[in-house]
Every structure is written in C-alpha cells, then in structure tokens.
Amino acid sequence: MTRNLTTNVDRIGADIDALAAITEPGRPWTRRAFSPLFLEGRTWLTQAFAAAGFTTHIDAAGNLIGHRAGKKPGLGTIMLGSHSDTVPDGGRFDGIAGVIAALEVGRVLHEQGIELDHDLEIVDFLAEEVSIFGVSCIGSRGISGTRPAEWLGRTSDGLSLEKGIMDVGGQPDIDALRHDIKAFLELHIEQGPVLQDGQLDIGVVTAIAGITRIEIIVDGRADHAGTTPMGSRKDALTTAAWIALGVEQLGAALAQGETHFAATVGEFVMEPNAANVVPSRVRMLIDARAEDRADMERFIDELGKGIEGISQKTGVSVQPLRIISDNPPTPCDPDVLEVLDDACEVAGAQHRRMASGAGHDTAWMARITKAAMIFVPCRDGRSHSPDEYAETGDIALGAAVLLEAVKRLDQSLQETE
C-alpha cells in the first residue's frame, strides 16, 4: 500500500525536537507538569498554535486550547490533542507526538484554506502523567467533569493542586465541563511492540483497558532464620512467591483470549527484611488491566480462590483481597472507529484494530463525546524511558490519518445529528 502523505514530515520532526529539548539539564526527557519547564513548553506551544491560525487560551481546568471557528456557529467542536508533560527521564514522544500531530492538522487546514463547518480545537491536556500530587489526567478529568473535588486539597511540598492549577492559568473554582465537543481524537505512540512486530503503520484503538489495583497482605511469623526448622516456619515470603507466580499464570491464561489482559505484581514490600529473620509480612500490589470487564471479574474471583488454596497449603494467613482502585474499560466510539479505518485506507496506512493497555486522556473524554485513538509504532515498544523513539515519518502518516478523519467527521457528524 502506497502512503499518501498530506502532512509535512520535516516540520513535524522539527517541532518534536524543539519541544522535547525543553527538558531538565542532564535528564532527557523530563518536563513534569506544574514545573517552570512545563510552563516554558506551554509558551512554545501557545506561539505555535497562534502561528497556525488558532486563538489560544487556558481553560478553567488548566488545559491549553487552540480554537479555530467553523463556518456554522453552534454546530459544535471537533477536538484533537494529547499532553506535553512527561514522566521523569522519559517522554520525548509520549504525548508530544499527539499534540504536534494535532497542530500539524490545523496547519495543513490553515495553509490550504480549508474551513470546517465545526469549530476545531487542539488541546494540550494538563498533567496526563502521574503528577507531583500523585494523580493523573487532571486536565481531561476537568473537561469531562470527572475530577474529584477532594483532589484540589492534595499537596506536594506545600503546594496544593488548587494553587497549581491556578499557577498554570486555570480557575479550579469554575466548572470546566464541556457540552459542545462532538468528537475527540488522540494520536499516541503505541508504547508496545505490536505494530512494529506486525510491520504495521497504525493501530486503531478499540478500547482503553480498565485498570484495577489489588492489595494482598500475607501475615506470617518472624522467627530465627538459623534455628527454626524448615518445616516449622510460617514464611510470608514463600507464600507471597506462590501468589506472585499464580498472578503470572492466571494473567497469561486470560491474555490468550481475544481481548487484552495483563496482570503485574508491581509493588512488593517484605518485613522485617533482615537476612537472619524469617519474613513475617509481605504487602503486594497487583496492577491488572482488562479490555473486557468479564475478564477482570474472572481474574479477581480466581485469584481469591487460588490464594485461599495457597494459604491452606502453606499454613500462612492471607488477608482478604482489598481493591484499591477499580476503573472499568472504556470502549472507543464505533462510528469514529469506522471513520479512522476509512481514513487509514485513504492515507495508505497498513492498520489493525487493537486495545490500549495504558491509560490515556481519551478515556475521560469518552465520558462526554464520541472519542477514539490511533497508535503509531515506537521502537521495540519502549516508552517511559530515555530510549523511547518513534520515526517522524510514522508520526506524519498518523497525522495524515487524523487530517482525513477530521474532514470526514466534519460531514458525518452532521449526518448523524
């Protein structure tokens, strides 16, 4: 299939390089939300948005928005974008690629004199990554009316989230919920190896996996490591190890299905953590992600039964499972998925449908509008790392798909309404 590239590869590459270069000295690529460097990046984006013919403002939730009026006032808004903040020591393309791709769509429309019927907006969401306040997707939760009110009181080094939003230009005391957005699209690097391994250009994202975090506490008994007979111990670590292997095996079995599933023991704390003491207590935190809610419910049920069996076998007590957080999966809009499939064909992009195992701002935008994502490949699936890399040509092709999708949505949304 021949690529039909309608976007400017060199310009996209230069923009990504310029924004990524705004980073902490010696820490590529670090530009965390609420930091002076984040605000410097926002200044760069504001100028770039304006040069592309957008009027810019910071909304009440702290999002940077570029606005371009459509020919039919009151018809509603098509929104594109992602985020410009990063995790520490990683994030040259994560989020940035989506913001720059949205900017490129606006630039091409501006240069070609194409006026949409709908308003068009490009957005840099505030704090998609886990922020200094311990929470994420702050801007998209604000726009979608799903940011918990108690979050504003969270603090970090004496700074409250409420003050942090004010410092970036937001107004946290004002409701930022939007009712005019008719569709939202986000381009993102895949953060996995599926597209690269399949030699594909685009992933059309069908759903964003729900994330459930489960705490397990194993209560053993501390004893002298040298004098306590092996058969007389209540070793919390041994029992926890059996559980961790069970999580791996159960997760692998569920992953063999048609929908995405993954489970990881991401946190593990052992007490008293001394060489000559039999471990008395282990705390484990499981991160489980499912495209299909039924898979998550099966995982939790079978995990509980498996732990009960392990506890009986080892004679070590395990506290009941505690669900720390539980977010359901978010399906993308089927009509928009069809538009993206068609746009891939027009752009000459080899594509497949796939789920996202990572969370994204799109999951929150889907609460208020038709929303979907596309993935572009990243080298070896690496992300949240200084080694994160995506080819500029792949991002440019993704931007071309977005451009075609926007043109199609401008018409199809009116037909639907």
Per-residue model confidence (pLDDT) at position 387: 95
pLDDT bucket at 416, cuts 50 / 70 / 90: confident
pLDDT for residue 49: 98
Write down the number of H helices and E strands in the chain.
Answer: 11, 16
pLDDT at 417 over 80: no
Among candidates 352, 43, 398, 19, which has minimal Cα distance to 189? Answer: 398
- Does residue 34 sit in helix, strand or coil? coil
Share of residues in the chain with pLDDT > 90 (%): 98
Question: pLDDT confidence of 108, banded at 50, 70, 90?
Answer: very high
Rounded to an integer, what distance in angstroms lies between the CA atom of residue 318 and that of residue 166?
A: 45
d(CA 343, CA 97): 19
Q: What was the pLDDT predicted at 1? A: 75
Instruction: Please give the mean pLDDT across all residues of the chain.
Output: 97
Q: Read off the pLDDT band of 2 (50, 70, 90).
A: confident
User: For 294-317, what is each residue's pLDDT tens digit?
Assistant: 999 999 999 999 999 999 999 999
Q: How far apart are CA 93 and CA 378, in angstroms?
A: 9
With 90 as the cut, is the pLDDT of residue 400 above it? yes
Global confidence as pTM: 0.93
In whole angstroms, what is the distance from residue 314 CA to residue 318 CA? 10
The confidence score (pLDDT) of residue 204 equals 98
Report CA-CA distances (Å) from 282 to 192, 198, 239, 240. Answer: 31, 40, 9, 7
Angle made by CA atoms 185, 363, 156, in degrees to the nearest 5: 115
Count of residues making up the chain: 417
Q: List, for residues 126-136, the tens digit of each pLDDT value.
A: 999 999 999 99
What pLDDT band is residue 343 in, cutting at 50, 70 and 90? very high
Name, in order, each residue with C-beta under 8 angstroms of 34's C-beta and a sequence gap of 6 or more.
Answer: 127, 131, 132, 159, 164, 167, 168
74/334 Cα distance (integer angstroms): 24
Across 304-333, average pLDDT:
97
pLDDT at residue 312, rounded to an integer: 98
* Residue pLDDT, tens place only, 44-73: 999 999 999 999 999 999 999 999 999 999
The domains located in the chain, with CATH, are 9-208+329-416 (3.40.630.10), 210-327 (3.30.70.360)
Matching residue, tokens 């419910």 = 297
pLDDT for position 74: 94
The two structure tokens encoding residue 239 = 């029992």
**Which stretch of DSSP H or E encloses residue 80?**
strand 77-83
C-alpha 116, offset from chain centre: 29
Question: For position 110, what pLDDT does the model report?
Answer: 95
The residues, ordered by sequence, that sit 6+ positions from 31 with a Cβ below 8 Å of its Cβ are 22, 23, 24, 37, 38, 41, 84, 85, 86, 91
Considering the chain, what percentage of its residues have pLDDT values greater than 70?
A: 100
Distance CA(17)–CA(36), nearest Å, equals 19
Asked if residue 318 lies in contact with residue 305, where contact means CB atoms within 8 angstroms, the answer is no
Compute the half-sphere exposure of residue 355: CA atoms within 13 Å on the CB side of its CA.
Answer: 19
